[in-house]
Amino acid sequence: MASSRKPTRVSFLSLSLLLALALVLAACSSDDSSSSDDGSSTTGSGSETSSDLEPISYPTVFLSPDGEQIEEYNYEGLPADEITEEWNVCAPIVHLKDPYWLALDYGLAQEAERTGTKLTVLAAGGYTELQNQISQMDDCVAQGADGIILGATSADGVVAKAEEIVSQGIPVVGIGVPVFSDEVPVAFASFRVQGRETANFMLETRDPPEGPNKVLFLPGPEGAGWPEDSLKGFEETVEGENVEIVEVKYGDTAKDVQLSLIEDGLQANPDIDYIVGNAVAATVAPQALREAGLEDDVQVIATYITPDVYESVVAGEVIGTVSDSTAMTGRIGYDILLRMLEGEDWLAEHPSKDIGPVPFVVSPDTLDSFEQERENSLPPDGYEPVFNVN
């Protein structure tokens, strides 16, 4: 086995200090849910969001175009009394069918209510619905949006439309997933770094320590950008570590799709040691393993956290995951857009257009400390999607 792990550019000590600060500065609400995005309109209320919420103060890092962490930055949000207008924000996002996007929706709704601005959320229906999302972006403009929050169905497929809208003087800010445009800042935790953290966790906890290990990897929907980044980070970290990725299976993050992919992967590769993949894959994997009689032979790791993944870690069905502070990411993206609407030149005043929270591992050994931080990662119990605020 190689003697050292592949490094990121932020030191372990710096990450520890940042995470300690995060625990002190937690500021949202709590836990779990899943939903479908049927387009029904739910208006934000005090039970779901909080007008008493304090402005963001949270440890983040600026990200290079290839997802490297390049500079630490404690993000400070705009106080509500510094926002000069009731800005009209439109947010076309991928869907609200899984807890990851629900957590982002929760963060957006929190900031809209805190700042007294208007928010309209539109769900495209899935990662395959690029053309629908482009039409929704046009709808945002037609309906008089001052700015757009974009949860992109495709990292490059939305670029032409996003840049067209920016050229009209309407700022566009991405959340959750990359957008491959120099004109669109994005708030997201680097999935490349999360892939590395996932791999390092596996390497540090595997038994025997030197391997060998066979991995079935399920990144998520091909072409969305973040699944490829997640796989890339994982691959570059396990290189030379006696790990074989026996198969990579892309697919939409619907439960039935992921379950089918895992069942096919297990049938072709019954001797694997790990299933590593997106949150939905990780939560349905235990069922597939039980049905195949492999629950005692294969361990499951998720590349990012959702309420279902968290519960699976608590239950011992998933041995670890990585948190990207998803709800906080939504809040940060919303705040960036407000800053741009208030006249800040975000692209010129910062070392990179992209910024995000520092990912960290959640495992049975860290559950107690995560309890203090989970409100920045997960939506509350029973959270329903909010489509309209103010």
Would the pLDDT of 6 be above 70? no
Cis amide linkage into residue 212, ω under 30° from 0: yes
Residues 109 and 384: beta-carbon distance below 8 Å: no
The dihedral through the CA atoms of 154, 342, 87, 79 has a sign that is: positive
Q: What is the pLDDT of residue 37?
A: 55
Matching residue, tokens 């025997």: 208
pLDDT digits (tens, 9 = 90+) for 237-257: 999 999 999 999 999 988 999
Topology (CATH) of 38-43+55-189+325-359+375-389:
Rossmann fold (3.40.50)
Sketch the domain layout of the chain as residue ranges.
38-43+55-189+325-359+375-389, 191-323
Spatial separation of the C-alpha atoms in residues 269 and 247, rounded to whole Å: 8
Taking the alpha carbons at both ends of the chain, their separation in whole angstroms is 56
Q: What is the pLDDT of residue 88?
A: 98
Would the pLDDT of 44 be above 70? no
**pLDDT tier at 149 (50, 70, 90 boundaries)?**
very high
**pLDDT tier at 26 (50, 70, 90 boundaries)?**
very low
pLDDT digits (tens, 9 = 90+) for 269-294: 999 999 999 999 999 999 999 999 99
Topology (CATH) of 191-323:
Rossmann fold (3.40.50)
Beta-carbon neighbour count of residue 82 at 10 Å? 12
Domains 38-43+55-189+325-359+375-389 and 191-323 share a fold: yes
**pLDDT tier at 232 (50, 70, 90 boundaries)?**
very high
Radius of gyration of the chain (CA): 20
Is the pTM above the cut of 0.95?
no
Would the pLDDT of 166 be above 90? yes
Over range 141-154, report the average pLDDT: 97
CA distances for 15 relative to 20, 60, 84, 173, angstroms: 8, 10, 35, 26
**pLDDT tier at 371 (50, 70, 90 boundaries)?**
confident
Average pLDDT, the chain: 87
Q: What is the pLDDT of residue 51?
A: 56
For 10, the token pair is 């932020």
Would the pLDDT of 41 be above 80? no
**pLDDT tier at 50 (50, 70, 90 boundaries)?**
low
Residues 178 and 152: beta-carbon distance below 8 Å: yes
**pLDDT tier at 210 (50, 70, 90 boundaries)?**
confident
Q: What is the pLDDT of residue 43?
A: 53
Helix H segments across the chain?
12-24, 99-115, 130-142, 159-167, 191-205, 226-238, 255-268, 279-292, 307-315, 326-341, 346-349, 367-370
Q: How many percent of the chain have pLDDT more than 90?
A: 74
Q: What is the pLDDT of residue 67?
A: 81
